Structure 1
């Protein structure tokens, strides 16, 4: 009899809702000008958050500059912190939908900074201190008539003595 009374209690206590997978916490990959941005940064969801007198997600595209220049700039204040993290990526010679390499030095690059980290690991910007940068920016929609640009991205950054920065499953969709 005691076992029958304890069984429902054990079932209730044993049932816990699993947390959503990190990728499920990102906005969907759209191509409609939805003003959406998200990625996994070292396996954790990373989206724009906070405000410092300028928008936390800016995309600019100039088709006449260096064969088409795309810049994606995003920042956040994690968990209400007073410090900023930011991601910037893009580059030149982006004139149509397609995949474009992000490289250590060249037409297309990616950057990360977390101003709460100790130097020198707070900024992953340029060579020679940044020794490894590789990845891909894929533009899935570039519609100047409708003013929509969308795409996906992934990249890895390394600086000696610092943890590697791995950005995966990135997506952006912006009305220009």
Structure 2
């Protein structure tokens, strides 16, 4: 009888154990972003609606240029990724506007003389897509933390909001990039 009671106690104890008890919790999303470096590491990342966004899967998953065209400067840094047929791309750009070290630019609507943010999503399974821009009401900021013309390195931080065609506001937060740019 003692053996049966001992066996029941052990069985009950083992049944109460959860194999997940020893697993560590997932790290917070912000810790999964690339570090905010200034070495030309070609990194890009942000939180998109609280989830980690980093480039990957697609060819040419990131791009950066700062070019003088007809006497005006154009800057662009963007990254894309694709999972399960859904392509997402996030970018920051200027049209006829210079960037400079330490300067914070307001991200507004996409017009000449402004800096702006973009968010694109396309679903190859359904054939739907949406290209969103910052605006006068959905704004953000870009701060240039390094601008090195000798080594063609630009680094910065950003955040912004955009509204999709269903009137859902998407939040891009904790953005950072450290890229080599073409001129």
TM-score range, shorter chain: 0.7 to 0.9
RMSD of the TM alignment (CA)? 3.1
For residue 64 of structure 1, report the CA deviation from its aligned partner: 6.6
Kept in 2, the 8 Å contact 1:69–1:93? The answer is: yes
1:93-121 Cα offsets, whole Å, 9 max, x none, are 21333111101244111111111297987
Report what 2:49 is aligned to: 42
Over 3 Å counting, the alpha-carbon distance change for 1:101 and 1:131 in structure 2 is closer
Which ranges in structure 1 are unaligned for 5 or more consecutive residues?
none
The residue matched to 1:23 in structure 2 has which SS?
helix
The alignment status of 1:100 with 2:105, answered yes or no, reads: yes
The alignment status of 1:141 with 2:146, answered yes or no, reads: yes
Deviates more, 1:89-98 or 1:17-26: 89-98
The aligned length equals: 169
Report what 2:22 is aligned to: 15
User: In 1, Cα distance between the equivalents of 2:48 and 2:115?
Assistant: 20
For residue 14 of structure 1, report the CA deviation from its aligned partner: 2.7
Task: Work out which of the residue numbers 60, 65, 69 in structure 1 matches 2:65.
Answer: 60
The alignment status of 1:169 with 2:177, answered yes or no, reads: no
Q: TM-score, normalised by structure 1?
A: 0.80
The residue matched to 2:86 in structure 1 has which SS?
coil
Between structure 1 and structure 2, the one with the greater Rg is 2
Which ranges in structure 2 are unaligned for 5 or more consecutive residues?
1-5
Over 3 Å counting, the alpha-carbon distance change for 1:166 and 1:101 in structure 2 is same
For residue 149 of structure 1, report the CA deviation from its aligned partner: 0.6
1:28-51 Cα offsets, whole Å, 9 max, x none, are 110000010100000000011122
